Amino acid sequence: MKTITTLKEALEKIKELKTTYYFKRESEHVSIPDSVGRELSEDIVADYMSPGFDIAAMDGFAVHSEDVYPMKIKGSVYAGDQRAQIQRGEAMAIATGAMLPQGADAVLKIEDTDVRNDLLYGKSFKKWENVFRKGSDYHAGDRIFEKYHRIMPQGAALLYSLGVEKVPVYKKIRAGIISTGTEIYNGMIKNTSSVLIQGFMKEMGCESSFEGAVPDDYNKTKKMLLEACEKYDVVFTTGGVSVGERDFVADIIAQSGELVFHRVAIRPGKPLAVGIVNDTPIFALPGKPTGAFTAIEMVVRSYFTETPRAMRVLLINEDVILPEKSFAYIFFVKIARNKASSMGREMKLYDGEYNTAIISASPRSAVVEGYVVTNRDIEKGEQVNVCLFS
């Protein structure tokens, strides 16, 4: 029997694969809004200092830290006004974002003040209190973003503040998708897994194209796979990776390139195969839709992002009995009233022992809020870590 790769080993091999192949793409320059979700192909370095002057971080009064109460109030200054000036023993009303007056070195927030007859009284304070110092954000020459950094909305705003007009990013990954199986090719079964992959690639900020379906034929499958490897950055296949007489995909990968691993100790999703053909990573997913989804979620997703799923501790609403303890089981759950319960149990796909073969075949069973990963039985009422999809 072929060796089954542990989930930890599979993730390590995916990391190695990413190190070699993920950034083997050309770069381009895009607008700041279009840069969100993209990875930088160059470092971004500041050309100037920000802020260019000391500014008030709170509404209140600009004061000098060595002065004592009472202080004489002298006018006011707002964001956008020219820089004002105060003398020792004076204070000036100041709005958040306004330039700190010359002669001031602190801001006393308005909640801590008492004004009587144009004189200021208040709490004790320290030098530079409530002041956003000149150059606190960055100086000219500071490296703000490193190459490979993925731009988020807040990063896009910072790029704008830096004066960047066009952002150097890697081109989007292009994925080719192939569905195998005579039943898919003939239209006897809906090709749900190809839609799943396209949705996943869109979520990852990548582009994808469906190359077509191919019947259970070794030569036709090989031809379509090799052609796809010439056109795309990565290739996905669905079906044909189990141990059946017509499961050709893993053999084709091994004979045409390198089979990195085949079969992972997860359920659903065990038949997953990953390989390289013509310097192109191939992710060969199980044919069953939820099996394909689990293989993507648990293993393949790590090639495209290192951001983990958010996690929440909840009570399980039922007993979970595993048929074997040598696998990592993915238990898809619905969440209601701070408790987690199995979508598969609700659909009556199993009763008692967790039947991953049935769960794997159901596209609906994974339409849930999250999942639990376990290699042991779970008792009703036990606290579990739920990985969240949103």
**Which domains can be identified in the chain, with CATH numbers?**
7-25+171-304 (3.40.980.10), 27-49+137-170 (3.90.105.10), 55-132 (2.170.190.11), 311-388 (2.40.340.10)
For the record, the structure tokens of 180 come out as: 């195998």
Residue 300 pLDDT: 98
* pLDDT of the residue at 73: 97
Residues 319-347: tens digit of each pLDDT? 989 988 889 999 999 999 889 998 888 88
CA 206 to chain centre: 13
Contact 191, 181 (CB under 8 A): no
**What band does 242 get if pLDDT is binned at 50, 70 and 90?**
confident
pLDDT tens per residue, range 100-114:
999 999 999 999 999
Tens of pLDDT along 267-304? 999 999 999 999 999 999 999 999 999 999 999 999 99
Q: Which residues pair with 16 in a beta bridge?
A: none
Q: What's residue 45's pLDDT?
A: 97
Measured CA to CA, the distance from residue 149 to residue 1 in angstroms comes to 42
Residue 354 has pLDDT above 90, yes or no: no
Helix, strand or coil, per DSSP, at residue 210? strand
For position 2, what pLDDT does the model report? Answer: 64
Closest to 342 (Cα-Cα) out of 308, 293, 390, 384? 384
Q: How far apart are CA 63 and CA 43, in angstroms?
A: 40
pLDDT band at 351 (very low <50, low <70, confident <90, very high): confident
Report how far residue 35's alpha carbon sits from residue 200's, in angstroms, rounded to the nearest whole number: 19
- Average the pLDDT over 216-244 and give the result: 94
More confident residue, 1 or 194: 194
Residues in the chain, total:
390
Residue 352 pLDDT > 90: no
Q: What pLDDT, on a 0 to 100 scale, did the predictor assign at position 357?
A: 86
DSSP H helical ranges for the chain: 7-21, 32-35, 153-161, 182-185, 192-203, 218-231, 249-256, 289-295, 301-304, 343-346, 356-361
> What pairing do the DSSP bridges indicate for beta strands 280-285 and 234-238?
parallel
Residue 199 has pLDDT above 90, yes or no: yes
Six token digits for residue 20? 């070699």
21-70 confidence digits (pLDDT tens): 999 999 999 999 999 999 999 999 999 999 999 999 999 999 999 999 99
pLDDT, one tens digit per residue, over 173-197 is: 999 999 999 999 999 999 999 999 9
Specify the pLDDT at position 347: 87
Q: Are 215 and 176 in contact (CB under 8 A)?
A: no
Share of the chain above pLDDT 70, in %: 99
* Cβ pair 109, 124 in contact under 8 A: no
User: 227 pLDDT exceeds 50?
Assistant: yes
First to last CA, the chain: 39
Yes or no: say if 302 and 241 are a contact pair by the CB < 8 Å rule.
no
Q: What is the mean pLDDT of the chain?
A: 95
Q: What pLDDT shows up at residue 1?
A: 44
DSSP string, 90-133: EEEEE-TTPBPPBT--EEEEGGGEEEETTEEEE----TTTTEE-
